[in-house]
Amino acid sequence: MSTITPTRPPQSGAPSARPAEAAGRVGGGLFDPKQLVKSFPDAMKKLDPRVMVKSPVMFVVLIGSLVTTVLAVKNPGDWFGWAITVWLWLTTIFANLAEAVAEGRGKAQADTLRKAKTDTVARRLIGKNEERVPGTELRIGDLVVCEAGDIIPGDGDVVEGVASVDESAITGESAPVIRESGGDRCAVTGGTKVLSDRIVVKITTKPGETFIDRMINLVEGAARQKTPNEIALNILLASLTIVFLLAVVTLKPFAIYAGADKQTSMIVLTALLVCLIPTTIGALLSAIGIAGMDRLVQRNVLAMSGRAVEAAGDVSTLLLDKTGTITLGNRQASEFAPVAGTTEAELADAAQLSSLADETPEGRSIVVLAKEKYGLRERHQGELAHAEWVEFTAQTRMSGVDLVEDGVERKVRKGATGSVVAWVKERGGSVSEDAQALTDRISQAGGTPLLVALEDDKGARVLGVIHLKDVVKEGMRERFDELRRMGIKTVMITGDNPLTAKAIAEEAGVDDFLAEATPEDKMALIKREQAGGKLVAMTGDGTNDAPALAQADVGVAMNTGTSAAKEAGNMVDLDSNPTKLIEIVEIGKQLLITRGALTTFSIANDVAKYFAIIPAMFAVAYPSLDKLNIMGLASPESAILSAVIFNALIIIALVPLALKGVRYRPSSADSMLRRNLGIYGLGGLVAPFIGIKIIDLLLSLIPGIG
């Protein structure tokens, strides 16, 4: 049987109350235009060439801006040179602004976290004695004491005691959580506050490397490294930049031969180069990456690396724990099955009566079902006179009531099959055959049967069976269908026996299940999937989940879990809501889609820019080339300037999209490609024709240009 720890259902009011998740979709973060102004100083700081060189495309723009500046200074009367220079600088600054805005959103979060990281004083235990040392001096293995009101000085495991802890500093969740020694709830995080009792914590991380430190680094982007796909895209963009650089540099001798030397000044060629190289994606690439991480942070998920977010988009197998992810935490009554000679209504009535003294969630669910399905008003224990209540206990596994109505004594019982059968037989009754048949049917369907029995003047007998079943969370089947359309296989992991597991798996619509799962089984399953080239994502929280979490391509550890689990996974869900795995996958995909969409858009943009700049440069040398001026731009100067301005403004215009991410709806690769190609491919071809024309119209209103 299972040795894995069932994951806990989300605490009430935690993630499910978040609007983004309630909508069930990857929503974007909010974008406030004020952020542009606020991030401006940061954008200026990024003009440092040592920073710029990391983005080859934007580095070329920076060089271009410097070149045109020098030329403009040398020839100060040339308004055109100045205009181009200003807009090239704006292009560079806009790119930095995009990144600064993306980072700025993390900064606010980091500041809140820093407040939690105030210098704490630790009460270190040396033998039996306590000494007070600064939290920063703690070493791994030190034991510290924390009592009600203390801030826990560092990450560690509780080795003694139980306490309720306020973790709102990290999770934003105000309800306190219980931390106790041993088991899977022993991990505590530095910066959180003990609300009651006393615990002894064994420190497990060095100061400066605690969870909060890592969180601060992550949200600030300090620990950000380029992901493999980002590096690959950068290589492609660099190679395109070189191609365009060659195309522009070699154009000069061609132009001299054609007699267009004057029209292809250094300033014009620089403008052409900046228009051609993929500045849009070059400017937004890192903002897209930061925003992707940020979208996870907004959902209270911390990805330890961008690589993990990218891998999430590629995941093709999801391992989902049954309890808490697929089903609600508790079994619920779903059906009253009476034996021959009893009506459903009689059974429901008896079931309700016998469950009133059962305060377990299962008992409550029987009362609720009786009310919802048979309109039986819930009676309260005080309403009935002469009633003797039999409370449910784990030993008797039965609950019920002894009533005297109209002088007749009625005893009603409900409980586990064995207990109720024994109770009936004790009273000389017999268990009818169809009761046995009903019990078997429910067991086979993966449910748990509870018998309802009655003893009155007609003797003791079984009235029928209550079907208790695992209740699959609402909307899970639809989600799994969506995942299937996205090409993702779902595997349910459960400690249940195969029969029960199969029934639930079918009901929930998962593709596969692993019953009576041990950590070893889980590990073997992950390795098997990976051997087939698939990427696997899973959640886990127990120490025994740690190896599997480390093996999985995306391992999401629950924040309530052990430090071992958190260490092994590459993401931590602060809300400890395993259902979020699905959203993580969607965010990963959205990140990649945004990157691809803006790359396509950026490259498609170039076509229109040629139609603006080529006739502007060469119509004098070859009047026939004026036919390429299909936009009918006013003058060569305004044409080139319009292209440059469009090129700069499109960056700012797309910042919100880069931060929010492209709208994502789960669907097959085919329909997604068709949609995105239509919007960003064709749109990228057409949009600049319109944009450049409009800018040209506005520019031509300025006297001296048109």
Partner 1 sequence: MSPVLAGVLQLLALIAALALSYRPLGDYMARVYSSDKHLRVEKWIYKGIGANPGVEMRWPAYLRGVLAFSAASVLFLYLLQRLQGSLPGSLGFVSIDPDQAFNTAASFVANTNWQSYYGEQAMGHVVQTGGLAVQNFVSAAVGIAVAVALVRGFARSRTGELGNFWADLVRGTVRILLPIAVIGALVLVACGAIQNFAGIHEVGQFMGGSQQWNGGAVASQEVIKELGTNGGGYFNANSAHPFENPNPLSNLFEVYLILVIPFALTRTFGRMVGSLKQGYAILGTMATIWVVFTGLMMWTEFAHNGPAFDLAGGAMEGKETRFGIGGSSIFAVATTLTSTGAVNSFHSSYTGFGGGITMLGMQLGEIAPGGVGSGLYGMLIMAIIAVFIAGLMVGRTPEYLGKKIGTREIKFAACYILITPALVLCFTAVAMALDTPSNSMTNSGAHGFSEILYAYTSGANNNGSAFAGLNADTQWFNSTIGIAMLLGRFLPMVFVLALAGSLAEQKPVPETAGTLRTEKPLFTGLLVGTIMIITGLTYFPALALGPLAEGLAA
Nearer to partner 1, 682 or 702 (CB): 682
Within 10 angstroms of residue 292's Cβ, the number of other Cβ atoms is 28
Nearer Cβ to partner 1, position 564 or 613? 613
Is 249 a binding residue for partner 1 by CB under 8 A? The answer is: yes
Please list every residue from 310 through 349 that binds partner 1, using CB under 8 A: 310, 313-314, 316
C-beta of 165 vs 591, nearer to partner 1? 591
CA distances from 169 to 110, 212, 214 (A): 11, 9, 14
CA distance 587 to 698: 40
Contacts of 120 (CB under 8 A, 6+ apart): 134, 135, 151, 152, 153, 190, 191
Binding flag, residue 54, partner 1 (CB under 8 A): no
Stretch that binds partner 1, among 64-72, 344-352, 495-503, 665-673 (CB under 8 A): 665-673
Complex with partner 1: residue 112 or 624, whichever CB lies closer: 624
DSSP category for residue 627: G
Choose between 94 and 601: whose C-beta lies nearer to partner 1. Answer: 601
Size of the site for partner 1 (CB under 8 A): 76
- Answer yes or no whether residue 673 interacts with partner 1 by CB under 8 A: yes
Q: Which residues in 515-544 contact partner 1 (CB under 8 A)?
A: 531-534
Give me the least distance between CB of 533 and partner 1, in Å please.
4
Task: Examine residue 244 and tell whether it contacts partner 1 (CB under 8 A).
Answer: yes
**Secondary structure letter of residue 360 according to DSSP:** S
321 is catalytic: yes
Report the nearest approach of partner 1 to the CB of residue 610 (Å): 5
Angle between helices 266-276 and 79-116 (to 10 degrees): 40
Distant-in-sequence, close-in-space partners of 441: CB < 8 Å, separation ≥ 6: 337
Which range binds partner 1 by CB under 8 A, 71-79, 241-249, 401-409, 636-644? 241-249
- Relative to beta strand 317-321, strand 536-540 is parallel
| DSSP secondary structure code for residue 553 in this structure | S
Among 7, 91, 539, 676, binds partner 1 (CB under 8 A): 676
Q: What would the x/- binding string for partner 1 be over residues 402 to 431, using CB under 8 A?
A: ------------------------------
| Cα–Cα distance measured from residue 673 to residue 681, given in angstroms and rounded to the nearest whole number | 10
Reduced to 3 states (helix: H, G, I; strand: E, B; else coil), residue 334 is: strand
Using the rule CB under 8 A, which residue among 414, 479, 489, 580 binds partner 1?
A: 489
| Interface of this chain with partner 1, residues 590 to 609, rule: CB under 8 A | 590, 592-593, 595-597, 599-600, 603-604, 606-607
For residue 422, how far is the Cα from the chain centroid? 51
Which residues contact residue 161 at a Cβ distance below 8 angstroms, ignoring those fewer than 6 apart?
Answer: 180, 181, 197, 198, 199, 200
In eight-state DSSP terms, residue 10 is P
Q: Residue 89 has which token pair?
A: 């600088």
Which CB atom, from 436 or from 667, has the smaller least distance to partner 1? 667
Nearest distance in Å: CB 313, partner 1: 5
Which residues in 681-700 contact partner 1 (CB under 8 A)? 681
Nearest-10 crossing angle of helices 669-676, 580-618: 30
**Closer residue to partner 1, CB minimum distance, 392 or 646:** 646
Which of 148, 242, 422, 524 touches partner 1 by CB under 8 A? 242
* Nearer to partner 1 (CB atom), residue 230 or residue 470: 230
Taking CB under 8 A as the criterion, which residues in 292-311 touch partner 1? 310
Q: Coil, strand or helix: which one is 132?
A: strand
Radius of gyration of the chain (CA): 34
Cβ-based neighbour number of residue 121 at 10 Å: 12
Stretch that binds partner 1, among 117-125, 139-147, 248-256, 498-506 (CB under 8 A): 248-256
Of 231, 437, 499, 698, the one binding partner 1 by CB under 8 A: 231
Q: Is 486 in the site for partner 1 (CB under 8 A)?
A: yes
Instruction: Tell me the closest approach of the beta carbon of residue 199 to partner 1, in angstroms.
Output: 44
> 175 or 249, CB closer to partner 1?
249
The span from the CA of 653 to the CA of 616, in Å, is 26
* Using rule CB under 8 A, residue 119 touches partner 1: no
Among the listed ranges 78-86, 151-159, 623-631, 689-697, the one in contact with partner 1 (CB under 8 A) is 623-631
DSSP 479: H
DSSP state of 634: S
Pick from 30, 126, 159, 243 the residue near partner 1 by CB under 8 A: 243
Nearer to partner 1, 494 or 594 (CB): 594
Give me the residues paired with residue 415 across strands.
Answer: 398, 451
Count CA within 13 A, CB hemisphere, residue 419.
Answer: 17
Question: Cα separation of 525 and 569, whole Å?
Answer: 17
Q: Taking the complex as a whole, how short is the minimal distance between the CB of residue 525 and partner 1, in angstroms? A: 16
532 to each of 197, 526, 543, how far by Cα in Å? 50, 10, 27
Among 485, 499, 512, 630, binds partner 1 (CB under 8 A): 485
Nearest CA-CA partner of 503 in 658, 322, 312, 291: 322
Residue 235 found at the interface with partner 1 (CB under 8 A)? yes
Q: Which 125-154 residues touch partner 1, going by CB under 8 A?
A: none
As given in the structure block, the two tokens for residue 242 are 């070189």
Using CB under 8 A as the binding rule, whether residue 225 contacts partner 1 is answered as no
Selected from 372, 406, 457, 670, the binder of partner 1 by CB under 8 A is 670
684, 605 Cβ separation under 8 angstroms: yes
Active-site residue (options: 155, 321, 496, 696): 321
**Would you state the structure tokens that stand for residue 337, as one six-digit string?**
């099955």
Single out the segment in contact with partner 1 by CB under 8 A; choices: 156-164, 216-224, 239-247, 453-461.
239-247
Which CB atom, from 199 or from 285, has the smaller least distance to partner 1?
Answer: 285
- Of residues 261 through 280, those in contact with partner 1 by CB under 8 A are 276
How, if at all, do strands 554-558 and 571-573 pair? parallel
User: Cβ 208 to partner 1, closest distance in Å?
Assistant: 31
Does 239 bind partner 1 (CB under 8 A)? Our answer is yes
Minimum CB distance to partner 1, residue 339 (Å)? 47
Applying CB under 8 A, the span of 327-335, 397-405, 468-476, 672-680 interacting with partner 1 comes to 672-680
Residue 702's contacts (CB-CB under 8 Å, 6 or more residues apart) are none
Segment holding 421, helix H or strand E: helix 417-426
CB 68 within 8 A of CB 285: no
User: Around Cβ 439, how many Cβ atoms within 10 Å?
Assistant: 22
Question: What is the total residue count of the chain?
Answer: 706
251 scored as a contact of partner 1 (CB under 8 A): yes
Q: Which is nearer to partner 1, 459 or 487 (CB)?
A: 487
Q: Is residue 513 at the binding interface for partner 1, with CB under 8 A as the rule? A: no
Q: At 196, list the tokens.
A: 């009651």
Query: Minimum distance from CB of 704 to partner 1 (Å)?
Result: 28
Q: Annotated active-site positions, please? A: 321
